Amino acid sequence: MRKKNIFLICIFIMVFPSGCNDRQELEQQSYVVAIGVDKAEEEDKYDFTYQIANPEVGSSSSQGGTNEPPSEIVTITGNDVLTATYTANAFVSKKITLDHTKVIIVSEELARDENFLRVLQAAARTPQIRRGVELIVSKEKAREFIQLNKPVTETRPHKYFLSILNRVTRSGLSPNSELHRFFQITEGDADLFLSTYASAIPSEEGEGNEDEYLAGQIPKLGGSPTQFMGAAVFKEGIMIDTLNGHETRLVNILDPTMDIENFITTFKDPIEPKFRVSIGYSQDKDPNISITYNKDKPSLIEVTVDFKAEVIAIPSLVDYSQNPDYQKRLINQIISELEEQTNKLIEKSQKEYGTDPFYWSLFVRKHFLDVKAYEKADWNKVIYPNAKIKVRYNLQNLEFGKMLNDTSLEEVRD
Amino acid sequence: MSPFFQAEKSTSETDMPIPTSISNRLEINIEQMKELFSFKVNKDFSYRSFVIHFNKKQATIFYYSSIVNGDKINETILKPLLEEDGRDLSNIITIENLLVLNDYKQIIKHINSGKAVLFVDGDSSVYSLDVADFQHRVITKAENESVIKGPQDAFTESLNVNLSLIRKQMHDRQLISEGMQVGVRSKSEINLLYVKDLVNEEILNNVKKRIEDISVDSIRNVELLEQYLEERPYSIVPTILYTERPDKATAYLEDGFIVILMDTSSACLIVPVTFWSFFHSPEDNYLRYLYGNFSRMIRLLCFYLTTMISATYVAISNFHSEMIPPDLLLAITASREYVPFPLIFEVLIMEIAFEIIREAGIRIPNPLGPTIGIVGALILGQAAVEANIISPIIVIIAALSGLSSFAISDININFTVRLTKFIFILAAGLFGMLALIGVFLLWFMYLASIKSFGVSFFAPLSPHFKSANDTFFRKAIKKQIFRPGQIKPQDMTKRPKDSN
Amino acid sequence: MLNNGSLKTREIVAILSLFLGMKLADSTPSLLAQKSQNGFWLVPILSFFILLPSFLLIMYLLKKYKDKNLIELMEAILGKWFGKALGLLFFTFVFLSLSLDSRNYVEQIKILYFPESPTKVIFFIFIGIAFFGAKKGIEVIGYTSWIAFPLIKFSVTLVFLLIFGKIIIQRIFPIFGSGIDILMLEGLQKASIFSEIFIILIAYTATKETKKFRHGVYLGSIFAFLEIILFYFIYTTVFDYNSIQKVAFPFHDITQYIQFGEFFTNIETIFMVFWLFAAYLRFIIFLYLITMIFGAIFEIKKFEPLLLPFSFLSIMIGLLPLNSISNELFLRETLFMIMSPFLILLPVLLWIVALSKGELRS
């Protein structure tokens, strides 16, 4: 009994100090919320920008530095994400922890570089960066983006990123661009990956309808300068193009692996073409995709999208709700406009990109027995660019909201 | 040589040997009795001599005046003997309990247990008359194991009263109250209660044997007896259930368990036990099915909170900070910014402070109790936070773990849980979740390996036995058909045989 | 410590499904995925059915020869010395897989949760706790497994439910992964991923009636088998065929990926708790059974004191490989490949000898 006790005590003493290796007090760590990656001036080196949350801002604790900024932003040049954190410790007083990182922001310049995949893979290797981290491409340098990004109401940066990314992906203006998805698609080497596109510097104001903008182009007054809109298109791990908000929405509609809830958009008024009708678009079911694979001739891809629409506003005051003929014309207008835009996008992807942003390669796989055959058939060089694609939109029902009819302007003015 | 030693020696020298036989002559007997009980110095040892009316013989009655009922002696012994006519003694004395004794050993035992002993001249047999009247409290409300719905009475320090409380609830001729004696110098009476046609003979014999094997001068009460009976005195886990509630004891009797009572304790012991006996409260069965199980669920949560919450907090914040949601993480970090101690130290300070308040709260004289409690808990916590000695979240954690420990009403398991808490905190501080889970697993396996009088601690959950499955949750009362199979009662079903 | 035969079917089910079922949450899936890509979830199915006839054969023999454990059975059929020699070979295989497996688990813990602590220390803690647990004996192990079983399976179910939204079924296509021929070969070579169902046979006499043990083993292995298939299927559908090869610890990768609502984003530690619990139990069972095998071979009745040297030895052997990758991809794979034919052929050999001796007719 006694011997055993002494033995146990010895083990305890032996183990106790080594346990301290991983013990880390909370206040001795700095929590990185966002990581920005830019190309450095030197070759093969990168500028890493860490946005570090300041715990004292926004917490109800009575003491302390309310005058301090909500986050500390540091930039350091290094080889990869982890080594840079250690270098950063030369001037950041606490151990830099990446566990709570929400976003990785990459400048467009780096994203278009062929070394981009290397940086990102090094990041994914550390267990500290999770697969759920979102990838954002910024038009300007990532460092500038982080510095300029000053949310007005959400003082805490992590809250801001969480809520804005949630909103943009739900409304379909930006894609879901988790690292996990990035790696699955890039390593799968068949489809295009779309990443959220953002900018904190307002550029020339764009023209067009409510969602046909890229980040930075939205005409607005007030609010935070940062805009999340549209998507960066990655092919084989390198950015090749951007899609505007509208195109991104279409991709989200057509991609069965994306969740899009609902959004409001406008269509041309079929009766009075100078006005536009606002329609709430919602989709409960994933689109139905069927691919007929033909070995020698072009394959056939048929896509059916079931959706619902709700008329939100009719500025032209045309009586759509009670006139079945007008209704039919409105429905035709909606469907034809959607189909036309979709076909344009598909054509662009077939001709320009050479492969699809919709993750449709999943549906051709079942025609093959093993990976070898599948890779030989070559989705992104042979099957998709030559395929015949038919997209059919299917309006399931059209609602008119809570008002039965609009007041006629003439009657009011009379 | 210490004076102690000498004193002991001298008493043993003056101690006269117990006379072997009782003489026919009263004077000799009186002398011997006086000698035996040190009449001159022993203030409350009394005797009274008189002449019996019907046969005109000299008689003397001996007793301790402090533990007998004087009126009873007067009414039922002296008065009839002095006034009534009759054939023999037993027809004259109206007392309900009369025994004939034949040697001095028995006489001593009887006098010590509050009987009056009657010597009659020319008779070598002696009459022991039960006039005992030990003083005890009246029956009060159960204070340490209180319930809202259910009987409120508690045991008191009297065997007869306690027996009456149990028999009141259980009218069964098979309910046996078997007496046993323990102690060499001061012989104490132990009562084993069991239902004869339910109890498992093997366990009963085991208990009896353990009681017989105790060889010690005296055992004053069941609290001490408990420690003589248990198998593992150094274990962190209790293996005997201790309760002050007669209804709880009766419930266990009905299931075939054995209850041990003593004259001097306001509580009883129940053997054998399982983990579930400590976890359950009698109220679980008094409350309706859903309510009772809800309260079980809360108690289970309390078990977890008391043992683990501080340790989990230490492990997570020291080793796995990634899992705290960011807002909470920042809040904790901000509050710790000015604290001069490592986190584990902080937790230990608060946990120990809580234990201090608790221990002091028990010892504090009653009138001061509430005031000091509030001062201790509130002021100490508040001031410590203001002085930046600890962070506010620790107060929440410690208060939560302390508060939930009160939901575990059994005092034994309560200590188990509180001690375990400290083991877990240290383990968590050592190597985070890795050590915490490992130590928890070992603790759990240790519990699973414990046996109380041959019954595994987690039975009937595992090893499985046929039973009412009254473990984490209970069934509806009507569905509780079986007695706990782990103690192998003679009759398994709680239903009359013919109705099945 | 003494076995009073109070174990029942349910405890055996719990023991076996923890012992075997842990294979779903270690690096075995990534080992299988190296060659068979997204078809790897089919490999265990093949392996199981390849191993099944041999397994049924040995169960039949055990039933015939009543109240003998695996080693005693081998000695009874093959004669004392040849039986012992084969038993020793079996012991060597099992002991090596214990050492390599434990290294594997320790590396997982280290890489994911304790990156800065030395492997040695984690190894000592891990095996130390397994040792103290194993000392409590098979009965307590059984009780503990049964009580922990629902909790552990609940956490696994929770992982399944939370990851469900991220599953893309189409990823299982092309259905045969890197090709049906490769799958068949892998299935044959890696048949010993189910070696646990043979190891547990050493405890054949742990229950009062061997019938209960047999039921327990059948139920437990089917349960663990289904569980493994389900989770390998999930890994295939969450990771694409190229990515699955690169993921070393798919279970942990999944737990890191899932989130519970928007506020609880990094919840992997919760699952790590249950995972650790199961891992400890697995090694407690492993260590105990191994010592039992050794005790049976050398006819040592009180084999519990041997637990300590064996724990120590397994640490020493486990520390030999340079890193976890070589341990996993080379050593463990080689061991699987050597062990598979042994496990497939051993029962057949026993059966043929028993048949030729004419002992099966009675």
Shortest CA gap B342–chain A (Å): 7
The per-residue pLDDT for B15 is 57
DSSP C142-160: HHHHHHHHHHHHHHHHHHH
What is the pLDDT at residue B122? Answer: 83
For the stretch B422-477, pLDDT in tens is 999 999 988 888 999 999 999 999 999 998 888 889 888 888 888 888 888 888 88
Query: Which band of pLDDT confidence, cut at 50, 70 and 90, is reported for residue A15?
Result: low
Q: How far is C-alpha C221 from the chain's CA centre?
A: 10
- Tell me if chain C has a CB within 8 Å of the CB of A363: yes
* B337: chain A residues, CB-CB within 8 Å: 27, 55-56, 61, 63-64
Q: Note whether A165 and A33 are within 8 A (CB).
A: no
CATH topology for A261-414? Answer: GMP Synthetase; Chain A, domain 3 (3.30.300)
DSSP string, B81-119: HHH---SSHHHH---S-EEEE-SHHHHHHHHHTTEEEEE
Q: State the DSSP H helix or E strand holding residue B49, giving kind and residue range, or none if neither.
A: strand B45-51
Considering only CB atoms, which residues of chain C are within 8 Å of chain B? Answer: 6-8, 10-11, 109, 113-114, 117, 122, 125-126, 128-129, 132-133, 136-137, 139-144, 146-148, 263-270, 272-273, 276-277, 280-281
What is the chain C residue with the closest CA to B317? C269
Q: What dihedral do alpha carbons A73, A79, A83, A89 form, nearest 10°? A: -40
Residue C323 CA to its chain's centroid (Å): 21
Chains touching A by CB (3 or more pairs below 8 Å): B, C
- A23:B318 CB<8 A: yes
The count of C-alpha atoms lying within 13 angstroms of the C-alpha of C162, restricted to the half-sphere facing its C-beta, is: 22
Among candidates A22, A100, A370 on the partner chain, residue whose Cβ is nearest the Cβ of C176: A370
Q: Residue B417: what pLDDT?
A: 92
Handedness of CA B287, B293, B294, B298 (dihedral sign): positive
**B330 and A31: CB-CB below 8 Å?**
yes
CB contact under 8 A, C253 and A166: no
pLDDT bracket for residue B13 (50, 70, 90): very low
Please tell me the distance in Å from C145's CA to the nearest CA on chain B. Answer: 9
Cβ-proximal residues to A201 (8 Å cutoff; 6+ apart), any chain: A139, A140, A144, A148, A216, A225
Q: What percent of chain B has pLDDT over 90?
A: 29
All residues at 6 or more sequence positions from B430 whose CB lies less than 8 Å from its CB, including other chains: A12, A15, A16, A19
Range of lowest pLDDT (A13-22, A81-90, A135-144, C321-330): A13-22
What is the residue extent of each domain of chain A? 28-256, 261-414
Q: Neighbouring chains of C at 3+ CB pairs within 8 Å? A: A, B
The residue of chain B nearest to residue C138, with distances taken between CA atoms, is B449
pLDDT of residue B8 exceeding 50, the answer is: no
- Residue A194 CA to residue A178 CA, distance in Å, equals 10
State whether A19 and B343 contact (CB < 8 Å): no
* Residues 148 through 177 of chain A touching chain C, CB cutoff 8 Å: 162, 166
pLDDT tens by residue, A255-274: 888 877 778 888 888 888 88
On whether any CB of chain C is under 8 Å from the CB of A69, the answer is no
Q: Per residue in A103-118, pLDDT tens?
A: 899 998 888 888 888 8
Q: Which of A263-267, A354-358, B310-314, B463-467 has the highest mean pLDDT?
A: B310-314
Domains along the sequence of chain C with CATH:
9-357 (1.20.1740.10)
- How do the pLDDT tens digits run along chain C, 362 residues long? 334 567 888 889 999 999 998 888 888 888 888 888 888 888 899 999 999 999 999 888 888 888 888 888 888 888 888 889 999 999 999 998 888 888 888 888 888 888 888 888 888 889 999 999 999 888 899 999 999 999 999 999 999 998 888 888 888 888 787 888 888 888 888 888 898 888 988 888 888 888 888 899 999 999 999 999 999 999 888 888 878 888 888 888 888 888 887 777 778 888 888 999 999 999 999 999 999 999 988 888 888 888 899 998 888 888 887 777 777 778 888 888 888 889 888 889 888 888 888 777 65
| A385 touches A355 (CB < 8 A) | yes
Which of B320, B444, B448 faces C113 most closely, judged by CB atoms?
A: B320
Angle between helices C268-297 and C119-134 (to 10 degrees): 60
Which residues of chain A have a CB within 8 Å of the CB of C173?
Answer: 362, 365-366, 368
Query: Of residues C115 and B294, which shows the higher confidence score?
Result: B294
- Whether A150 has a pLDDT exceeding 60, the answer reads yes
Residue B7: band (very low, low, confident or very high) from pLDDT cuts 50, 70, 90: very low
Q: How far is CA A232 from CA A107, A109, A135, A245, A248, in A?
A: 11, 12, 10, 11, 9
Which residues from chain A sit within 8 angstroms of residue B329, using beta carbons?
Answer: 26, 31, 55, 100
**DSSP designation for B262:** E
Q: Which residues of A touch B430 (CB under 8 A)?
A: 12, 15-16, 19
Decide if A18 and C121 are in contact by the 8 Å CB cutoff: yes
